[in-house]
Structure 1
Amino acid sequence: MAASPHLQEITASNLDTAVALRVRPDQEHLVDPVVKSLAEAYVHPGVAWPRLICVDDQAVGFLMAFFDIDWTGDGTDFRSGLWRLNIADGQQGRGYGRFAVECVAEEIRRRGGTLLTTTWHPGEDGPGDFYRTLGFRTTGETSGDQTVGVLDLK
């Protein structure tokens, strides 16, 4: 029986493992590397929630969530969601991405939230179909060149 995935907090003992995690080469243009995510987490303490996705002792992915950020910068639209999702080369198609989204949704609910926001690069090679399969709907907004999607957690 295969082990279940679980999340691990990023610590000094698994930092090198986290930084070494790579998506498929053809996906590198779609998602920033883990090292950039960890730098962003460092400069946004209390907002960023970086975690390794592990099966047994093997890292199979990385996620970073955000909680209660001022989305528009005017103090009227605070959101929580999935900031980054990197599933390792050779580990996709095994449910780890779905697991990651479910973990972020659970944490948002635990904190009293009812909506999960994320962004993705549009296009045939982007992850839009993955997110839509999980129930995300597009909002019509963009964030830079990315599509904004939301998942109702009620």
Structure 2
Amino acid sequence: MQKILVRAFHLAHLMLRPMTLGVRVAAFDESGHLFLVRHTYVRGWHLPGGGVDPGETIEAAAHRELAEEGNLSAQAPLRLVSLHHNAAMSRRDHVAFYACDRVSQSASKKPDREIAEAGFFPLDALPEGLTSGTKRRLDEWAGRAEPDPLW
């Protein structure tokens, strides 16, 4: 009976207060260039990433999003850099920020319904239109800013 009550409590909590979780990855090629994407449905250049699916680990989601958004595979371990509340998305959205020092690309990412444009950029020549969240994460990663708990 206790197990049933606990499961019912968790189910009610999930339905009444769902939390969403996403992931973004600062992915670098062997030359140290950063991979960025420009989506079809939102403005600006972003780090590759997206939502964590039910039953999926955050790291597995990061690997999946690298593959989906850039035909990328990690050739070095992904490192969790920080966690952030994404209040602009919802009161219950959080984003895990990872970095990978070495990724390889099996083929250039062709535009599709989700990705308008994607590519690797030198850190001193990032494209115009970089989102503010992406700028802040890169500054934190580089040690130019203290981590901000908000995305």
> Which bracket does the TM-score occupy, shorter chain normalised?
under 0.3
Asked which structure has the greater RCO (Cα within 8 Å, sep 6+), the reply is 2
TM-score for the superposition, normalised by structure 1? 0.26
Higher strand share: 1
TM-score for the superposition, normalised by structure 2? 0.26
* Max Rg structure: 2
